[in-house]
Structure 1
Amino acid sequence: MTSYLSGAHNFSVNELKVVNTNPPIVDPLNELASRIAAGALHDSEERCDAPKCHPETRVAVQDEVYSWVVHGDPDPEQKIVNIKWVTGPAGTGKTAIMGSLADTCKKNGVLVVTFFFSSSASLQCRTKAAFIPTMAYQLAQCLPGLKDHVGQAMQDDPLLFKKNLRVQMEAFILTPLRRIAANSTQPGVVLIDGLDECEAGQPSDFDGSSHRGSMARRTKDQDQLEILQVLREASLDPAFPFRIVIASRPERVFRQFFSGSLFAPSLVLDEKYNPDADIALFLQAKLSEIRRQYNLSPSWPSPEVLAILIDQSSGQFIYAATVIRYLTTSRQGNPHTLLDRVLKVKPTSSKTNPFSYLDAFYTHILQSAPDPILAVKWLWTIRGRSPAGYALFILTQMGVQLDMSPAFDINMLLQVDDGDAEHVLGDLHSLISIPPPNDLTSPYRPHHKSLMDFMGDENRCGPLYVQDVHYNEFFCERFSEICIQGH
């Protein structure tokens, strides 16, 4: 190659400055940390109130999954993909099981990666955008030498974070693993919960740019399937020595994906694992705490009442958990009176609806609000239900995402008078986490996705169902008022 100074002579160079236009990344973990979904880690601050299994409950389920994590499948000669699917209907305790399993695996030194998707969490915890970087960040912390190769990948391709998941998996994880020869007989596990709550991600979801008008929108099924396929490919790669546990509802994309015989046997949370016995332990412990706190009679509640609550749970921990929250947060009576009200709540029909008692209880709690329909409209706004017309256009142009907005901002949008938020939502603490009035940054958070499932199904929600036209009228009226006031 010809030098720029070829043939030059009789000259000197003073104060030479050399500029490296592609400087090395000093600490790859710092760069990765700005790109991950920190709230999706099992021990994150965002998940500080996430459910965990009550002691001595769901033991058989946890033992079965943990045994697979440590020992693998009984027939090692079979070429089985090292992925186990844990599934069950809404409210059966999947997230609590995965949270407790993560604690056990971490305590015993086999936890490698966790990612807890949640429809009520921050954006990065609801889409695929930060999934691979979050995996890479945790792996780089666990495996000596890996972070240097991850940093090299970022330096080689600054646009790597915008590539598809297959490219990211290869560059961030598989290639670095090959370079450090991470093959090990020591077990390690990747735990992924709530993958069915992963929403459809678009290009603007992560980097702030907007390309929505120039490309077709993806569906959540497509993104969920992409994650499943990438994990399957990683599991089949000799460089990836870890086992993977995925928990989700039994939605179609998962049923079809796991229908083959290549995977480890799925674990279905059904009557085999005797959920009624675990629900009984949970209720006995929590009701005992309430009894001591309120100095109630040692005989409260009676064994007959406890049996009724267990039966009405229908194997769903969410029903039992919601009852306990109702007894401890409602302002409409003492626990004794409130429990009597719970027992009087009966479903209109339970023949075809496995959530009949849960739906009846949700209805009872919502109807305890001063204006139940208005409360449902507030809840839909909190959850990010999209309005129609010019309001949606302006919100989109402003980059406003209602389901990520602080509770303070939601209140400013929806309140007609100061104090409306407390008036509308004050009796709904058993359904939704409500920040204190002086908290300007924390969002409202529904305690469980099953509430939104209930409100979105007219057959289940009945007279509390809010049609699109009525929600749009409500939202646009408040939005117009705010615009007129110049807020």
Structure 2
Amino acid sequence: MAFHDSPPPLTPTPRDDFRFRMSPNEYTGDDGLFLLHSAIAVGASHDSSERYPPPRCHPHTREVVFDIILAWTANTLHGPRVLWVHGQPGSGKSAISQTVAEYCAQTGQLGATFFFSHGQGDLSDGRALFPTIAYKLAGAIPELRAPLSRAIQLSSSVLGQPLEVQVKKLIVEPFKSAIRHFASPVLIVIDALDACDGPEMQHRILTLLAQLIIVHHLPLCFLLTSRPTPHLHATFDSPVFRKLTTRIFLDNFTSNADVRHFLRSEFSRTHRQLQNSTMLGIPDPWPPEAVIELIVQKSGGQFLYPATVLKYVNDGAENPDERLREVVLAAVSSASASAAFTPTDQLYHHILSSHPDPAALLRILGSLVVLYAPLSERDLEMLIGVSAGAVLGTLHGMRALVDVPDPDPTTVSPHRVRIPQESTAEFLVDIHRSLMFWIERGKYHAMMVRGCIRYLLAMDSAEYIDLSSYQYVRRKWIRHLAQATPSPELLDDLCELRFLYSRVSSEVQVVVAWLKVRSRSRPLSTYRAF
């Protein structure tokens, strides 16, 4: 058995001397930055390959919001150092963050980015935030490299210490050691803060950001985006943040004109690209203006609904014009049938209903909903017990809901499948919205535990193991178990002696404790083979 993994992308540029020197006055190498890389969330940055293709604002849309943000970045030296952009799902928060980050990276003002993602391992773990920010700042500000690297090399335990210690050692002290005049504050973008695990962690993060500005006077400014949750509102309404923060509520900037421009541009691009194939004979302009107006009306000035329509139409599985006709018919019929569902929920129902094998589709979607980090389709197939090629085959035609990578024979890197929109996962786990497409998370957590057990038992005979997938299984199977719904099959697998003997004592204790808790609600004797 051999581990297979591609080396992580390293921002630090190699230097001539990587030797560790005990004297902090002599140390100039980058050893500490390589240690720091092990603690960062690689997929959290705006330019991470794991986020490709990232959401961006469509050209000539969101111009008012973008101008306000750029005006804020230009005046942070004498104005509020925090900008909170908040809005409902589908209001375009991540697209705005991405567009601003790319623009400010070109102008040289960007220092670091972190895009949180709900339930996605490191991307939802607040403990990864400050190591990642420090690592990216060292790449953007060369003067920070030596003091940051030295601090970690001399005390690598800081990577496991509380956030407050990390901020002091990884950000405050390196900035104090760096001799540089900053003409304007360096921008740090933190997207989807509400996707960070837990209100308490979110409050700690905001408190530390305020201290960086108020207490330590660091030349930093922060663009933060989130949903307008009550606990975040409470924090931003506190006296400290009222002085530090300016706000943009995106729901006040809904624009049918932006949505209309977005639709016309994207539909025109589709027609232009496919006019000699699937769109042959379809007159231009396409579609009729009445269709665009119907979608605009359904959008409510937000981009989630029209973006999902375009993904469904442009999936490549069928003729775009035929798929658009389906969407229009579904929209018209649902409008006259019931107002119980939002237009986006109605669209989700239509897309899911179009699949020929709903049970197979839900098996894969359920696993994607409960995953703590994206996995390759190859390892996902093993964990959920389906044949090779079944994941991509089943998700054919579902690109409106799932990021499905195109097969690339030129690379050996595994393709990872994920549900990009948190709103899609929220729909699937809400029985009142998804109805027959409801995903009961406990059932799929149990499925993942059984898959992890199979994975671990098969390691000895495997030709190679993808290191990232092995680390996921090794670290996360206990978390899946904590959320799993008991079943006779799961209990049989947990009591497999070969599996139990391969686990460390702490893991065996977790299994025993889990069995005891579950037995209180249902006698173990009622389970098969127990």
Same fold (TM over 0.5): yes
* Structure 2 residues not aligned, in runs of 5+: 1-19, 276-281, 463-530
Partner of 2:432: 459
User: Given the alignment, which residue of 122, 129, 148 partners 2:127?
Assistant: 129
| Corresponding residue for residue 158 of structure 1 | 156
**In the TM superposition, what is the alpha-carbon distance from 1:449 to its structure 2 partner?**
1.3
Q: Take 1:174 and 1:361, find their aligned partners in 2: how far apart are those partners?
A: 48
| Aligned pairs for 1:355-394 within 5 A | 356-384=342-370
Q: Deviations over 1:63-110 (max 9, x none)?
A: 10111111139xx5xxx7621110001111111111111111122221
Partner of 2:247: 266
Task: Evaluate the alpha carbon distance shift between residue 158 and residue 22 of structure 1 in structure 2; reply closer, same or farther with a 3 A threshold.
Answer: farther
Report the CA distance between 1:463 and its aligned residue.
2.1
- Residue 310 of structure 2 corresponds to 324
Residue in 1 aligned with 2:291? Answer: 305
**Residue 434 in 1 paired to residue 417 in 2?**
no
Give, in angstroms, the shift of residue 290 of structure 1: 1.1
Structure 1 gap ranges (5+): 1-18, 200-219, 386-400
Alignment map for 1:78-93 (pairs within 5 Å): 82-93=81-92
Distance change (3 Å), C-alpha of 1:352 and 1:167? farther
Q: Tell me the distance in 1 between the aligned counterparts of 2:311 and 2:73.
A: 34
- Report the 3-state secondary structure (helix = DSSP H, G, I; strand = E; otherwise coil) of the residue aligned with 2:130: helix
1:339 aligns to what? 324
Task: Give the conservation status (yes or no) of the 8 Å contact 2:314–2:320.
Answer: yes
Corresponding residue number in structure 2 for 1:214 = none
Aligned counterpart, 2:469: none
- Please state if 1:37 is matched with 2:41: yes
- Distance, in Å, in 1 between the alignment partners of 2:52 and 2:425 is 22
**1:248-290, CA deviations, whole angstroms, 9 ceiling, x for partnerless residues?**
11122211111132232210102x4242211111111110011
1:233 aligns with 2:233: no
Q: Please give the alpha-carbon distance, in whole angstroms, between the structure 1 residues aligned to 2:397 and 2:21.
A: 61
| Among candidates 140, 144, 147, match of residue 149 of structure 1 | 147
- 1:137-216 to structure 2, matched below 5 A, reads 137-182=135-180, 184-199=182-197
Residues 350 and 105 from structure 1, CA distance in 2 versus in 1: closer, same or farther, beyond 3 angstroms?
farther
When residues 257 and 144 of structure 1 are mapped into structure 2, their CA distance, relative to the original with a 3 A threshold, is: same
1:282 matched residue in structure 2 = 262
Q: Match of 1:55?
A: 59
Q: SS in structure 2 opposite 1:244?
A: strand
Distance in 1, Cα, partners of 2:66 & 2:21: 52
CA contact 2:76–2:184 (8 Å) conserved in 1: no
- Measure the CA separation in 2 of the matches of 1:461 and 1:309: 21
Classify 1:299/1:179 alpha carbon distance in 2 versus 1 (closer, same or farther; 3 Å).
closer
Aligned partner of 2:117: which letter?
A: S
Decide whether the 8 Å contact of 1:92 with 1:269 is kept in 2: yes
1:413 and 1:482 in contact (8 A); partners too: yes
TM-score, L = length of structure 1: 0.78
Hey, what's the Cα distance between the residues in 2 that align with 1:99 and 1:423? Answer: 31
Please state how far the C-alpha of 1:21 moved relative to its aligned partner.
Answer: 7.4
State the number of aligned residues.
423
Q: Distance in 2 between matches of 1:329 and 1:120?
A: 26
- Give the structure 2 partner of residue 421 of structure 1: 391
Question: Which is richer in helix?
Answer: 2
Partner Cα distance (2:184, 2:202) in 1: 29
AA matched with 1:26: G
Deviates more, 1:185-194 or 1:281-290: 185-194
| Structure-1 separation of matches of 2:99 and 2:123 | 19
The Cα of 1:47 is off from its aligned counterpart by 2.3
Instruction: Specify the code of the residue in structure 1 equivalent to 2:418.
Output: R
Q: 1:350 to 1:259 in 2, by over 3 A?
A: farther
The amino acid that maps onto 1:94 is K
Over the matched positions of the two proteins, sequence identity in percent amounts to 29
Amino acid at match of 2:109: V
Residue identity in the other structure for 1:265: T
Q: Distance in 2 between matches of 1:26 and 1:135?
A: 20
Distance of 1:327 and 1:52 partners within structure 2 = 19
Q: How far, CA to CA, are the matches of 2:135 and 2:445 in structure 1?
A: 42
Local SS of the residue matching 2:245: coil
Conserved? CA contact 1:117–1:194, under 8 Å: yes
Q: Summarize the Cα distance change of 1:475–1:29 in structure 2 as closer, same or farther, 3 Å threshold.
A: closer
CA distance in 1, matches of 2:33, 2:455: 43
In the alignment, the residues of structure 1 paired with residue 422 and residue 293 of structure 2 have an alpha-carbon distance, to the nearest angstrom, of 26
Correspondence list, 1:44-123, <5 A? 44-72=48-76, 82-119=81-118, 123=121
Does the residue aligned with 2:243 lie in a helix, a strand or coil? coil
Q: Deviations over 1:286-310 (max 9, x none)?
A: 1001111232311321111111111
| Structure-2 change in CA distance of 1:473 and 1:105 (3 Å) | closer
**SS of 1:266's equivalent?**
strand
1:181·1:239 contact (CA, 8 Å) conserved in 2?
no
Letter paired with 2:246: P
Letter in 2 for 1:358: T
**1:405 lines up with 2:375 in the alignment:** yes
State the Cα deviation string for residues 341-362 of structure 1 (Å, max 9, x = none).
1112244787676xx0111111
Letter in 2 for 1:143: I
Letter in 1 for 2:174: P
Task: Report the residue type matching 1:108 in the other structure.
Answer: T
CA contact (8 A) 2:111 2:187 kept: yes
Query: SS at the partner of 1:150?
Result: helix
- 2:416 matched residue in structure 1: 443
Note the C-alpha offset of 1:29: 3.0
SS in 2 for 1:321: helix
Give the C-alpha shift of residue 227 in structure 1: 1.4
Deviation at residue 478 of structure 1 after TM alignment: 7.3
Larger deviation, residues 21-30 vs 293-302: 21-30
Report the AA paired with residue 264 of structure 2. Q
Distance 2:166 2:212 in 1: 11
Please, which moves more after superposition, 365-374 or 164-173? 365-374
> Does the CA-based 8 Å contact 1:81-1:262 persist in structure 2?
yes
Contact 2:381 2:387 in 1 (8 A): no
Cα distance between partner residues in 2 of 1:20 and 1:294: 61
After the TM superposition, which of the residue ranges 295-304 and 356-365 deviates more from structure 2?
A: 295-304
Q: Compute the RMSD of aligned alpha carbons.
A: 3.0
Larger-gyration structure (1/2): 1
Distance 1:227 1:167 in 2: 12
| 8 Å contact kept, 1:58–1:278 | yes
| 2:213 and 2:219 in contact (8 A); partners too | yes
Counterpart contact for 1:406–1:440, Cα < 8 Å: no
